[in-house]
Amino acid sequence: MLDKLKDITTFIFDVDGVLTDGSVYVTDSGEQGRQFNIKDGYAIQLAVKCGYNVCAISGSRSKIALHRLNSLGVQDVHIGAHTKTLNFKSYVEEKGINPQNVLYMGDDIPDLEVMKLVGLPVCPADAAEEIKAVSTYISPIAGGRGCVRDVIEKVLKIQQKWMGEQAYSW
């Protein structure tokens, strides 16, 4: 896996179950909330500052995810994606990205086909068994608990960008 880390230029993440723990908090008025991990957020904004392509593709229509990711500098957020492979193919074509340079982190069946198209498919510790079976790396950390930080940190460290000057400005 270490060989693949040095070639990563792009991070793509599912939202529910990866950037969140998969829980949905519903208020009396019917609004749905999600909880995000601050360490994941730090790593995401650092990856953006270091010049990586960062994208999220989610089947959910969560505006909360859109706002959270935009606040971290992620402009490429695809919500309501019913066929994630279409969003993925469109994104890499539009940006001129080689799929072999993509790390995709997913946790459940809707992520399976996209994960077969990328150079480095990874998942959180609590991913579905089918996802674990196609993953090159399984983070020891569960979704929404720092698994995104785990994979971003590994890539940035091997590419010697983890403790650069961007690391100190949040």
Exposure string of 101-139, with b = 16+ CB inside 10 Å and e = fewer, is bbbbbbbbebbbebbebbbbbbbbebbbeebeebbebbb
What pLDDT score was predicted for residue 3? Answer: 84
The verdict on whether residue 16 carries a ligand-binding annotation is: yes
- What is the per-residue pLDDT across 101-123, written as a single tens digit (0 to 9) for each? 999 999 999 999 999 999 999 99
Give 35's pLDDT tier (boundaries 50, 70, 90). Answer: confident
Give 30's pLDDT tier (boundaries 50, 70, 90). Answer: confident
CA distance 10 to 164: 18
CA distance 39 to 33: 19
- What is the per-residue pLDDT across 55-77, written as a single tens digit (0 to 9) for each? 999 998 888 889 999 999 999 99
Contact call for residues 135 and 121 (beta carbons, < 8 A):
yes
For the cut 90, the answer to whether the pLDDT of residue 26 exceeds it is no
Give 24's pLDDT tier (boundaries 50, 70, 90). Answer: confident
The verdict on whether residue 126 carries a ligand-binding annotation is: no
Q: Which of 148, 123, 113, 142 is nearest to 21 (CA)?
A: 142
Stretch 141-155: mean pLDDT: 97
Residue range 2-165, CATH number: 3.40.50.1000
pTM for this prediction: 0.93
The verdict on whether residue 3 carries a ligand-binding annotation is: no
CA distance 140 to 27: 32
**Better pLDDT: 148 or 1:** 148
Rounded (to 5) percent helix, strand, coil in the chain:
40, 15, 45
